[in-house]
A and B are shown apart, each in its own frame.
Chain A
Amino acid sequence: MKAEIKLALTMGLLGGVVVFLFGGWSVTVLGILIGVFMGLSIGGRVNKKDGPRKLALQSLSTAGIAAVVFIAVSLFQNYVVAPAGGQFPSELYIVIPANLIGGLGMILFTALTAALHGLPDRQERLGKLILMVVLVIAFPFIDRITGLHWSGQIIFALIFVILGLGLNIVVGFAGLLDFGYAAFFAIGAYTTGILSSPQHHIFMNFWLVIWIALGMAALWGLILGTPTLRLRGDYLAIVTLGCGEMMPIIFRNLTNVTIKEPLTCWIIPGIMRLFNSSAATKCITIIDNLDLTAGEKGINPIGRPYLPFIGEFQSNNPIPWYFLIILLILLSVFLIRRLRDGRLGRAWMACREDQDAAVQMGIDPVHTKLTAFALGAAFSGFAGAFYAAYIRGIFPSVFEFSTSIIVLCIVVLGGMGNINGVILGGIIIMGADRLFLPALKDLLKGLMDHTILPALASNHTLQAVVAQNANPILYRYLLFGLTLVIMMALRPEGIIPSAQIRAELHADEETSAVEKAVKN
Chain B
Amino acid sequence: MKSFFRRFMRPIIAILVIYLVFLLGPIAGLDFPIIVGRIQESPKMLVQFLIIGLANGAIVAIIALGYTMVYGIIELINFAHGDVYMIGVFTALSTLSVTGALTTNNPVHLVLGIVAALVVAMIVCASLNVAIERLAYRRLRNAPRLAALISAIGMSFIVENIGLIWAAQSWLVPSFGTTGGGAQKSFPDLLSKIMISLNLDPNLLASTGLGLRFTIKDLLVIVLASILMIGLRFFIQNTRLGKAMRATAQNRDAAKMMGINIDRVISITFLIGGGLAGAAGLMAGLYNNTAWWFMGFRVGIQAFTAAVLGGIGNITGAMLGGFLIGLLAAFSDGYMDARWTNLWVFAVLVLILIFRPTGLLGEQVGEKA
Q: Are B156 and A481 in contact, CB atoms less than 8 angstroms apart?
A: yes
A246-B346 in contact given A177-B146, A228-B354 (Cβ < 8 Å)? yes
Q: Are A259 and B140 in contact, CB atoms less than 8 angstroms apart?
A: no
Residues of B within 8 A of A232 (CB): 367-369
Interface string of B138-170 (1 = CB under 8 A from A): 011011111111110111111111101100111
Q: Which of B156, B181, B339 contacts A253 (CB 8 A)?
A: B339
Q: Are B147 and A492 in contact, CB atoms less than 8 angstroms apart?
A: yes
Residues of B within 8 A of A482 (CB): 154, 158
Q: Is the interface of B mostly helix, strand, loop or mixed?
A: helix
Q: Are B369 and A233 in contact, CB atoms less than 8 angstroms apart?
A: yes
Interface string of B268-284 (1 = CB under 8 A from A): 00000000000000000
Binds B, one of A15-23, A89-97, A463-471: A463-471
Number of chain A residues whose Cβ lies closer than 8 Å to a Cβ of chain B: 60
Interface string of A338-377 (1 = CB under 8 A from B): 0000000000000000000000000000000000000000
Q: Are A476 and B165 in contact, CB atoms less than 8 angstroms apart?
A: no
Q: 19 A–B contact pairs at CB < 8 A?
A: A232-B367, A232-B368, A234-B76, A234-B149, A238-B349, A239-B350, A241-B301, A243-B346, A249-B346, A253-B339, A258-B27, A259-B24, A266-B33, A412-B150, A464-B170, A469-B168, A469-B169, A484-B153, A485-B154
Interface string of B68-104 (1 = CB under 8 A from A): 0000000111000000000000000000000000000
Interface residues of A in 79-108 (CB under 8 A from B): none
Number of chain B residues whose Cβ lies closer than 8 Å to a Cβ of chain A: 63
CA distance A267 to B21 in the complex (A): 13
The answer, yes or no, to whether B116 is at the interface (CB within 8 Å) is no
Q: Are A242 and B357 in contact, CB atoms less than 8 angstroms apart?
A: no
Q: Which of A241, A405, A461, A504 contacts B144 (CB 8 A)?
A: A504
Q: Are A474 and B350 in contact, CB atoms less than 8 angstroms apart?
A: no
CA distance A386 to B254 in the complex (A): 55
7 A-B pairs besides A241-B301, A253-B340, A484-B154 with CB distance below 8 A are A177-B146, A232-B368, A253-B343, A401-B297, A477-B157, A477-B158, A481-B161
Interface residues of A in 162-188 (CB under 8 A from B): 171, 175, 177, 179
CA distance A261 to B25 in the complex (A): 11
Question: Interface centre among B76, B143, B304, by most A CB within 10 Å?
Answer: B143
Q: Are A468 and B180 in contact, CB atoms less than 8 angstroms apart?
A: yes
Interface residues of B in 302-357 (CB under 8 A from A): 304, 308, 339-340, 342-343, 346-347, 349-350, 353-354, 357
CA distance A480 to B32 in the complex (A): 44
The answer, yes or no, to whether B42 is at the interface (CB within 8 Å) is no
Q: Are B161 and A242 in contact, CB atoms less than 8 angstroms apart?
A: no
CA distance A480 to B160 in the complex (A): 11
Interface residues of A in 55-90 (CB under 8 A from B): none
> Smallest Cβ distance from B318 to chain A, in angstroms?
15
Residues of A within 8 A of B161 (CB): 474-478, 481
The answer, yes or no, to whether B26 is at the interface (CB within 8 Å) is yes
Q: Are A408 and B139 in contact, CB atoms less than 8 angstroms apart?
A: no
Q: Are A245 and B147 in contact, CB atoms less than 8 angstroms apart?
A: no
Q: Are A481 and B158 in contact, CB atoms less than 8 angstroms apart?
A: yes
Residues of A within 8 A of B357 (CB): 231, 235
> Smallest Cβ distance from A240 to chain B, in angstroms?
9
Residues of B within 8 A of A483 (CB): 154
Q: Are B149 and A477 in contact, CB atoms less than 8 angstroms apart?
A: no
Interface string of A395-417 (1 = CB under 8 A from B): 00000010001001000100000
A484-B165 in contact given A258-B26, A504-B144 (Cβ < 8 Å)? no
CA distance A489 to B133 in the complex (A): 12
The answer, yes or no, to whether A120 is at the interface (CB within 8 Å) is no
Residue of B nearest to A230 (CB): B354
CA distance A238 to B168 in the complex (A): 31
A505-B147 in contact given A239-B354, A260-B26 (Cβ < 8 Å)? yes
> Smallest Cβ distance from B309 to chain A, in angstroms?
12
Q: Are A408 and B157 in contact, CB atoms less than 8 angstroms apart?
A: no
The answer, yes or no, to whether A257 is at the interface (CB within 8 Å) is yes
Q: Are A262 and B23 in contact, CB atoms less than 8 angstroms apart?
A: yes
A477-B164 in contact given A261-B23, A464-B170 (Cβ < 8 Å)? yes
Residues of A within 8 A of B149 (CB): 177, 233-234, 237
Residues of B within 8 A of A230 (CB): 354
CA distance A412 to B342 in the complex (A): 29
Q: Which of B145, B170, B343, B353 contacts A249 (CB 8 A)?
A: B343
A267-B22 in contact given A177-B149, A257-B27, A477-B157 (Cβ < 8 Å)? yes
The answer, yes or no, to whether B199 is at the interface (CB within 8 Å) is no
Residue of A nearest to B354 (CB): A227
Please list the residues of chain B having a beta carbon within 8 angstroms of any beta carbon in chain A.
19, 22-24, 26-28, 32-33, 75-77, 135-136, 139-140, 142-151, 153-162, 164-165, 168-171, 178, 180-181, 297, 301, 304, 308, 339-340, 342-343, 346-347, 349-350, 353-354, 357, 367-369
CA distance A480 to B367 in the complex (A): 32
Q: Are B171 and A461 in contact, CB atoms less than 8 angstroms apart?
A: yes
Residues of A within 8 A of B33 (CB): 266, 270
Q: Are A249 and B297 in contact, CB atoms less than 8 angstroms apart?
A: no
Q: Are B150 and A245 in contact, CB atoms less than 8 angstroms apart?
A: no
Q: Are A259 and B27 in contact, CB atoms less than 8 angstroms apart?
A: yes
Q: Are B26 and A259 in contact, CB atoms less than 8 angstroms apart?
A: yes
CA distance A165 to B157 in the complex (A): 23
CA distance A237 to B136 in the complex (A): 19
> Smallest Cβ distance from B344 to chain A, in angstroms?
10
The answer, yes or no, to whether A452 is at the interface (CB within 8 Å) is no
The answer, yes or no, to whether A250 is at the interface (CB within 8 Å) is yes
CA distance A205 to B297 in the complex (A): 40
CA distance A257 to B297 in the complex (A): 29
CA distance A465 to B180 in the complex (A): 11
Q: Which of A262, A477, A480 contacts B22 (CB 8 A)?
A: A262
Residue of A nearest to B146 (CB): A177
Residues of B within 8 A of A204 (CB): none
> Smallest Cβ distance from A221 to chain B, in angstroms?
16
Residue of A nearest to B340 (CB): A253
> Which 3 A/B pairs are nearest by Cβ-Cβ distance?
A484-B154, A481-B157, A481-B158
Q: Which of A179, A254, A474, A485 contacts B155 (CB 8 A)?
A: A485
Residues of A within 8 A of B145 (CB): 233-234
Q: Which of B27, B154, B297 contacts A481 (CB 8 A)?
A: B154
Residue of B nearest to A245 (CB): B346
CA distance A262 to B21 in the complex (A): 10
A465-B169 in contact given A233-B369, A412-B150 (Cβ < 8 Å)? yes
Interface string of A469-502 (1 = CB under 8 A from B): 1000011111011111100110010000000000
Q: Which of A250, A257, A464, A465 contacts B343 (CB 8 A)?
A: A250
Residues of B within 8 A of A474 (CB): 161, 164-165, 168, 181
CA distance A262 to B157 in the complex (A): 44
The answer, yes or no, to whether A515 is at the interface (CB within 8 Å) is no
Q: Which of B22, B27, B170 contacts A254 (CB 8 A)?
A: B27
Q: Which of A235, A401, A488 contacts B353 (CB 8 A)?
A: A235
> Smallest Cβ distance from A415 to chain B, in angstroms?
13
CA distance A468 to B133 in the complex (A): 30
> Smallest Cβ distance from B78 to chain A, in angstroms?
11
Residues of A within 8 A of B22 (CB): 262, 267
The answer, yes or no, to whether A508 is at the interface (CB within 8 Å) is yes
CA distance A355 to B301 in the complex (A): 29
CA distance A438 to B308 in the complex (A): 40
Residues of A within 8 A of B178 (CB): 464, 468
Q: Are B181 and A238 in contact, CB atoms less than 8 angstroms apart?
A: no
